[in-house]
Chains A and B, each alone.
Chain A
Amino acid sequence: MSRLMAKIELQKLASALSLDEAKLGYLDALEADELRELRDMVSGALYSHHETRFGRMAAVSKLVPSAISAKASQLVGPALSAQVAGALDPHHAVKLAKAMRPEFLADVATFLDPARVTAIVQLLPDTVIVPVGKTLLKRGAFLTLGRFTSIVDPDTALKVTEDADGHELLTLALYTEDRPAIDAIVTKIADFKLRAAMAAAAKNGDFDEALALMEVLTPSNRARVIDEAAHLDHDDRNELMAGVIRNDSWDMLMEALDRVSHDALKAVVNVPSTAETAVIDVLLEQAIKADRTEAFEAILLALDAAHVTAMSASKVLKGAEFKTWVEKTPGLGDRLSGVLAKVS
């Protein structure tokens, strides 16, 4: 995931310099955070170099009626309009934006630095933002959309994505710079959309990315995603859990499992990739380490016969640490006695 995020950041830096991403191949080894920091410095330097003149152009735009200023913007083009926008009085900028076509504003958005236009975007009505957002979505401009997601109200973002399919939602989430914004949007997304996003992850082999995104969600939203993932077909659920094993995502998952329905949990955990004693050992070790008694209990009670058999060979289960852990949790031993009798 971190490599994917670094690749996305490299695309953004290349875009800021009007370069092909391949030309910056020598920055491949940098982490996503480092590339983002570098991009911020580059964008800041490019802007500050001409800042005084952008300010003068912004002052001129206030001299004339908005319709004329909007026409001038379209004539000078989206790249320069985007730079001047950063120097505009936000209320004046809103008047101009209202006089422009969504297609042109979408072009401008491609060149905008969200940090410089936050005050403007937050004053814009949905009647302006939503058509622009939908235009960007239609163009597959996820890089641009992802940069604005954090400064747009979640309800507005939801309207932009109301017609988006699962793949588009997942891709947009990957490109979203402000990770907490993803949770705010997921909170408002309908369950069927989450199911579509997980189906898209299955279809495109993107479970590693989906799991990394789940890490930024609150446990309750994570649980919603797992509930929806339970509707995937058997092979896809197996791939999902293979991803959990590969990415060592057990603790992230366990933090949410006590909120997942019993049936969904059964569907998700009882797949071939988890029916390995070594896998169950890792699960047990992490449950003990993070003291996830409720999640562990939920998983244990959801396991089918094949998984109980795999668990019976677990060394961790027979170890002193596990015994102490169960004994110190009031009632846990009694509640699990049926299953534990089968595996001991």
Chain B
Amino acid sequence: MSSLRELAELLGVPEKKLGMLSNVAQENLSHLRDSINASVVEQEGLIQKGIETGLKVIPAPLRGRARALLFPGGQA
């Protein structure tokens, strides 16, 4: 069940900062939390796709350095 506390955790703010949502129904708080999570996932997809696309236009001699900058731990 969603709550202001969970939403505050997701947003990285103290719960008291969300006082304006104290009268919003639990199901709607859930919707808001789900929408924020969906945006995070959507951004994740954009980033993955963006990295792949971006690497293709980088000249070959620089591609290795770019890859090292993008994936400092060596992860793909």
Interface residues of chain A, those whose CB is within 8 Å of chain B, are 16-19, 23-24, 26-27, 29-31, 34, 37-38, 41-42, 44-46, 48-50, 53, 56-57, 59-60, 63-64, 68, 71-72, 75-77, 79-80, 83
Contacts and interface: CB of A to CB of B under 8 A. Distances in A.
Contacts of A23: 31, 35
A154 B18 CA distance: 35
B50 interface: yes
A59 B62 CA distance: 13
Contact of A49 (B40, B57, B69): B40
Given A41-B13, A56-B69, A57-B70, 11 more contacts: A29-B23, A34-B20, A44-B12, A49-B40, A50-B40, A50-B44, A56-B72, A60-B58, A60-B70, A63-B58, A63-B65
Interface residues of B, number: 39
A300 to B, nearest CB: 45
Contact of A72 (B21, B44, B46, B53): B53
B36 to A, nearest CB: 6
22 contacts: A17-B38, A17-B39, A23-B35, A26-B25, A29-B23, A34-B20, A38-B20, A41-B17, A42-B11, A46-B39, A46-B43, A48-B12, A49-B40, A50-B40, A56-B69, A59-B69, A60-B58, A63-B58, A72-B53, A76-B46, A77-B46, A80-B50
Contacts of B44: 50
B55 to A, nearest CB: 8
A249 to B, nearest CB: 28
B36 A46 contact: yes
A18 B54 contact: no
Contact of B70 (A38, A49, A56, A76): A56
Q: Interface majority SS on A: helix, strand, loop or mixed? A: helix
B31 to A, nearest CB: 7
B74 to A, nearest CB: 13
B57 A26 contact: no
A63 B69 contact: yes
A258 B36 CA distance: 51
Nearest to B52: A76
Contact of B53 (A16, A24, A68, A76): A76
A64 B35 contact: no
Contacts of A34: 20
Interface in B1-53: 10-13, 17-18, 20-21, 23-25, 28, 31-32, 35-36, 38-40, 42-44, 46-47, 49-51, 53
Contact of A64 (B36, B42, B43, B62): B62
Contacts of A27: 24, 28, 32
B11 A64 contact: no
B27 to A, nearest CB: 9
Nearest to B8: A41
Contacts of A30: 20-21
Contacts of A83: 43
B12 A45 contact: yes
A17 B41 CA distance: 11
B53 A64 contact: no
Nearest to A65: B59
B36 A76 contact: no
A177 B31 CA distance: 27
Given A46-B43, A77-B50, A64 B59 contact: yes
